Structure 1
Amino acid sequence: MPRKPEYDRDALIGRARDLFWRHGWAGTSLKDLERELHLKPGSFYAAFGSKDALFALAMERYTQEGVARLTEFADKFGPKAALKAQPTFVIEAPELPSKACMLAKTYAELQAREHVLAEKAAKHMTEMKACFTNLFRRAQEAGEIGQDHDPERLAARYQSDLLGLRLSAERTDVDAGLIAADIAADLDRL
């Protein structure tokens, strides 16, 4: 009878996500993963199959948690409030391993290599945009945003603004808090 693993696979995916988010795909070796997850090589391969398979799971987790957090906030405080809070959250949340977006970092790192994970990162960025589109639609339905705006276009611009903000937040010579406040204020003009 096979032995039951002595680890929490879900927790390991979360720890791997944070390591990948900080260091990227190329910057995270198998040895780094084995050390961070406290797994021997055989256990690592039995649990995840490969570094790429674990990275794909980590990106999926990143996306699911982002969508769930935004949706929960919108359900509690309203869709426009969620959209307005997101810029500050992504640059100030102390529990985040990096201010930059894991999906955008992955896409930028791997698309030139034509790596399949770049395609998966792009797919997840599309999922995030769909979440933003849904929130803009809900805000219109709630009368918080005018009906004369295209939710898809608003979501594309908003996502672009967030990605730029998150890169700016990595720099020490930029006041990302002011940029976040401007993004939130722009939503009041819709």
Structure 2
Amino acid sequence: MDAAWTSAVNRATGMADSAKRFLLPFRRPPPPPPPCPDPDPNPVQILKRLQRQAFYDIMQLRERQEKVERVISLFKATKVGPFAEESTRVKGVVNVAGSLPRDISEAESCISSRFVFEAPVRKKDSLFAELSTEHRYVSQENDHIETPFVLSKLMYLSNISDSFSVAVVPKGARCKDFSTDQNIREFA
């Protein structure tokens, strides 16, 4: 537990130092050094002084430009988000055969669907979610009862190496039938 606190404190001090380094150049720059009180204005000395002042101004502008470029690159990096590497893959099955009545006397019809979403989270990690539904319309004295669209399975798969991976499911969930295959080929 102490290591976690030490790590958190180190991160906080690192962020404070980074913010300090970032904000210091935005304050007013110090005034240039006063000119030498030389009664004899030598043209060479004047040129040297002007060159030093110009160099100082150019360096200040360069530092500000680097700060702006850093802010813009951070903005672009955070706007992309964690799911930017690859797109989310979706595989689904919709069964409408149950909606066709076999007999005219049947009052019950059923449409079922299952959709599996796989979203890459980091380089080798994936988030799997399965949404399923089974719409049953049962007529009971002019009332229609239907079952909702539900999140039936949720799993986070972390591939640590080629031979070792860890699957995490929410507490109380039963996700025994998810494959650890990255391509969700086995969809039944």
Same fold by TM-score greater than 0.5? no
The structure in which a higher percent of residues are helix is: 1
Instruction: Return the TM-score normalized by structure 2.
Output: 0.27
Instruction: Return the TM-score normalized by structure 1.
Output: 0.26
The structure in which a higher percent of residues are strand is: 2
